[in-house]
């Protein structure tokens, strides 16, 4: 039995099908991620290919990183560090004035394992919590003293919102221009889930309009297109690069109100160990004809 390891950049169905067709003996795919939107499950099913993922590896890891972004936004830590490095000036400046998380309202969009851990951390800061989920967990809400509300209510009433939903075609641009216009003025937006959950053009619009005071992003819409163009074309000759998205992402990166990291919220030693172990277990169990963590 031969095992192939490869990295798939494209989410386009045709690119995926071309790659699968180039491996006529392929019987099993295991992705080293929880998300699997980059895999055409129907095409795999039609070809009799089983697919597994790593369903749980970073629920605490990503939640902790979410608050790293929130704290950077609330206390201007990166700006203060850069200012000191550039000037060695220890005087206070109004641009570095932050705000307390205590008493603020955190809106959590998506209350799976990561979202639940974010809520628990928020309680340590004595924040008020509102949440939105299409499958609300009433018992967890009662035990942790927060309320579920509609998406629009959460956006309108929160001082900070953080996104923790999986990406599907149905929730593409879950945060968009229409509902950004209904946000509380001065809101802060954090996304450590998937870039396409937020409409980038609308996000820039909200910042320029003064609705959104700050943004913390570990993911970008179209972030794969931000890779070196020659690398993408060299790997996938038919790759269509969205240059409009590249320009919009560059605008975001250059905005002083925005903190962006390169999709590393999951990247801790412990989480990496869990990913490797689960992926190896997936392969081993498939060989033993007892596949686990199958995506159906």
Q: Contact, 54 vs 274, CB < 8 A?
A: yes
What tokens does 259 get?
A: 């903190």
Distance from C-alpha of 202 to C-alpha of 178, rounded to nearest angstrom? 8
Helix axes 59-75, 113-124, angle to 10 degrees: 50
Distance from C-alpha of 193 to C-alpha of 153, rounded to nearest angstrom? 21
93: left (phi over 0), alpha (psi -120 to 50) or beta: beta
Catalytic residue numbers, as ranges: 194, 223, 263
Encode 225-252: b = buried (16+ Cβ within 10 Å), e = exposed.
Answer: bbeeeeebeeebeebeeeeebbebbebb
Give Cβ neighbours of residue 242 (< 8 Å, ≥ 6 apart): 222, 225
* Lateral strand order in the sheet of 258-260: 147-148, 128-132, 105-109, 160-163, 187-191, 212-217, 258-260
Three-class DSSP category at 131? strand
SS (H, E, C) 198-236: ECHHHHHHHHHCCCEEEEEECCCCCHHHHCCHHHHHHHC
Residue in the block written with tokens 């192939």? 4
Distance from C-alpha of 33 to C-alpha of 98, rounded to nearest angstrom? 35
């Amino acid at each position: 039995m031969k095992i192939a390891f490869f990295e798939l950049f494209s989410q386009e169905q045709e690119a995926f099908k071309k790659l699968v067709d180039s491996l006529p003996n392929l019987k099993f795919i295991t992705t080293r991620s929880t998300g699997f939107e980059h895999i055409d499950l129907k095409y795999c099913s039609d070809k009799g290919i089983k697919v597994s993922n790593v369903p749980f590896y970073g629920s605490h890891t990503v939640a902790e990183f979410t608050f790293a972004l929130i704290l950077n936004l609330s206390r201007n830590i990166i700006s203060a560090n850069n200012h000191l490095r550039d000037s060695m000036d220890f005087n206070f400046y109004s641009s570095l004035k932050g705000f307390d998380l205590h008493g603020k309202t955190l809106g959590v969009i998506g209350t799976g394992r990561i979202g639940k851990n974010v809520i628990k951390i928020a309680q340590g800061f004595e924040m008020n919590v509102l949440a939105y989920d299409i499958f609300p967990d009433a018992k967890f809400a009662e035990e942790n003293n927060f309320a579920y509300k509609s998406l629009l209510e959460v956006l309108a009433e929160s001082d900070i919102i953080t996104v923790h939903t999986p990406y599907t075609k149905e929730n593409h641009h879950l945060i968009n221009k229409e509902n950004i216009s209904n946000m509380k003025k001065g809101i802060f937006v954090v996304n450590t889930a998937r870039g396409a959950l937020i409409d980038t053009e609308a996000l820039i619009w909200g910042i320029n309009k003064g609705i959104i005071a700050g943004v913390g992003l570990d993911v970008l819409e179209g972030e794969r297109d931000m890779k070196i163009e020659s690398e993408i074309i060299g790997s996938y000759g038919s790759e269509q690069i969205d240059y409009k998205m590249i320009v919009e992402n560059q605008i975001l990166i250059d905005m002083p109100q925005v903190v962006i990291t390169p999709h590393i919220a999951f990247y801790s030693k412990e989480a990496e160990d869990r990913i490797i172990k689960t992926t190896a277990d997936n392969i081993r169990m498939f060989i033993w004809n007892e596949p686990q963590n199958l995506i159906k």
